[in-house]
Structure 1
Amino acid sequence: METFGQRLHRAVSVRGPLCVGVDPHPQLLTRWGLPDDVDGLARFAATAVDALGDVAAVVKPQSAFFERFGAAGIGVLESTIRQFREAGALVLLDVKRGDIGSTVDAYAAAYLDPASPLAVDAVTANPYLGVGALAPMFDLAGRHGGGVFVVALTSNPEGRAVQHARLSDGRTVAQTVIDEISQLNVGAEPIGSFGLVVGATVGDTGHELSHVNGPMLAPGLGAQGGRPEDLRTVFGQALSAVLPSYSREVLNAGPDPSALRAAAEQTLVKCREALGVLI
């Protein structure tokens, strides 16, 4: 069985280091001339698949923007996931789930069991109930070739109180998350399947990332203020493992599919330059 890390490495090698966030928030639907309802959501998603499904290495639907329409919105999400995967893109579902016991078991089954209608290649997860509490996600991902991106460092000011708090050994809470994820990737080639989410706007935090041996999702680029050149400051020697993530920078070019595709291709050029990828 091919691991998520192996599939991601191949996808990035072929399509380039770019993750496009698929975030159908109300303002974007309006910008596209679509109604803020399930029909508008479905039309948005169909256009995104048509324009980006065979371009982006990874797409990252934000589950909340589909969930707000209830069961019908989840139906659109299921269809969108399936269509993106059929087009060859890896789907990273941004759900940031995190819980304990049977609840995290159920979250894992919902997103990482191939039998589920919501099955994706990878999910985001929140570790601040304890990284160990996410073990069912890691286990199921390992069994089925999936991936998990665990939130480590975020740019929102509220996050620092938790993420930068120090333990008795001097490490920050975020560094313990980073270190525990690195243990899951020991010996994995060419890269592990368990990654981190590190905001592109966090700056030089002094955290050590070079030993993770897993992918690092960098949201916050483009409209959220992050610049490609900031990636070197944030990630340092771990730059080669970074997966830059853009959303509005690309989606604002819609609804014309050719304009969306062109925006993604232009953004990819910026990513290649920032990461030193010449092909």
Structure 2
Amino acid sequence: MRDPFGARLAAAVSARGPLCVGIDPHTSLLEQWDLPVDVTGLERFATTCVEAFAGQVAVVKPQSAFFEAHGSAGVAVLEWLIAAFRDTGTLVLLDVKRGDIGSTMAAYAQAYLGEGSPLAADAVTVSPYLGFGSLAPALDLAEQTGRGVFVLALTSNQEGPQVQRATGGNGVSVAQTMVDEAAARNAGASPMGSVGLVIGATVGRLDLDLSVLNGPVLAPGFGAQGAGVAELKAVFGDLRHLLPTSSRDILRHGPDAMALREAALRVRDSLG
């Protein structure tokens, strides 16, 4: 039985620094790397990313949609990518943002968190907007298998505040409710719990009490999307267990694997 994800993430960050590298093989990036926009290009992209990042950074975050866009052959490449990072010391956070209810959510959980599934990663992203309780199949299975779940809380897209900053009759925002629900799942865990949150690095005003979370915060938007070290500080202060995510700022240095690795290490080192 593997250790809980929270403990494994803490160890990975201690060894390799607080950086999550996004692996986003969208069409324009494949073209920039002079790769064909098909499964052969996707395979070469994936192989290069493994060569560049395995054992070098704490976490990588493949965006599932860019693999799914190539059909079953693209999903097979994603399965290979997840397996290739296994046991390298670099954790795989699969960005799938699944969210549903009942048996459907249980099936998603089995696909991405269940033992023996070729798509099972160290952690996944999920959407709680059918109610936090709808995530129970994923949260429960992740706890059983030593994996992690990152719950969308406050995202940087302009449509997000319509739901996430809305308040209920008790005056508490939806986003804060996600924080509180995740904190309840993480209570008592050491060095931290395995239920994280996704909070955009460019959200500006935070208005959230994260002191109760006892879990990791994934902060996409570091780098090309506009957030630097100063912005991270302004949004999150001295928050522990912060995991900034950078994709385009690093991937633009491809297709040379060593150049990619060096770019990732420069970004990691800038985080202190």
TM-score, normalised relative to structure 1: 0.96
Structure 2 counterpart of 1:21 = 22
* Deviation, structure 1 residue 77: 0.2
CA distances 1:16-37 after superposition (whole Å, capped 9, x unpaired): 1110000000010011010100
* Deviation, structure 1 residue 228: 1.8
* Deviation, structure 1 residue 203: 1.1
Check if 1:142 corresponds to 2:143: yes
Quick one: which amino acid aligns to residue 74 of structure 2?
A: G
Unaligned runs of 5+ in 2: none
Q: For residues 228 and 84 of structure 1, what CA distance do their matches in structure 2 show? A: 28
Between Structure 1 and Structure 2, the one with more helix by share is 1
Query: 3-state DSSP class of the match of 1:83?
Result: helix
Query: 3-state DSSP class of the match of 2:93?
Result: strand
Q: How does 1:95-110 map to 2 (within 5 A)?
A: 95-110=96-111
Structure 1 counterpart of 2:255 = 255
CA distances 1:83-123 after superposition (whole Å, capped 9, x unpaired): 01242210000000000010000000001012101111000
Structure 2 counterpart of 1:236 = 237
Q: For residues 228 and 267 of structure 2, what CA distance do their matches in structure 1 show? A: 11
RMSD: 0.8
Check if 1:269 corresponds to 2:269: yes
Q: For residues 72 and 246 of structure 1, what CA distance do their matches in structure 2 show? A: 26
CA distances 1:7-60 after superposition (whole Å, capped 9, x unpaired): 000000001111000000001001101010000000000000001111111000
Structure 2 counterpart of 1:185 = 186
Structure 1 counterpart of 2:160 = 159
More displaced stretch, 244-253 vs 82-91: 82-91
Q: For residues 66 and 88 of structure 2, what CA distance do their matches in structure 1 show? A: 22
Q: For residues 207 and 151 of structure 2, what CA distance do their matches in structure 1 show? A: 19
Structure 2 counterpart of 1:172 = 173
Q: How does 1:210-225 map to 2 (within 5 A)?
A: 210-225=211-226
Unaligned runs of 5+ in 1: 273-279
Q: For residues 240 and 7 of structure 2, what CA distance do their matches in structure 1 show? A: 15
Structure 2 counterpart of 1:90 = 91
* Deviation, structure 1 residue 205: 2.3
Structure 2 counterpart of 1:129 = 130
Structure 2 counterpart of 1:68 = 69
Q: For residues 83 and 225 of structure 1, what CA distance do their matches in structure 2 show? A: 31
* Deviation, structure 1 residue 271: 1.5
Q: For residues 126 and 47 of structure 1, what CA distance do their matches in structure 2 show? A: 30
Quick one: which amino acid aligns to residue 113 of structure 2?
A: L
Q: For residues 182 and 235 of structure 2, what CA distance do their matches in structure 1 show? A: 18
Structure 1 counterpart of 2:47 = 46
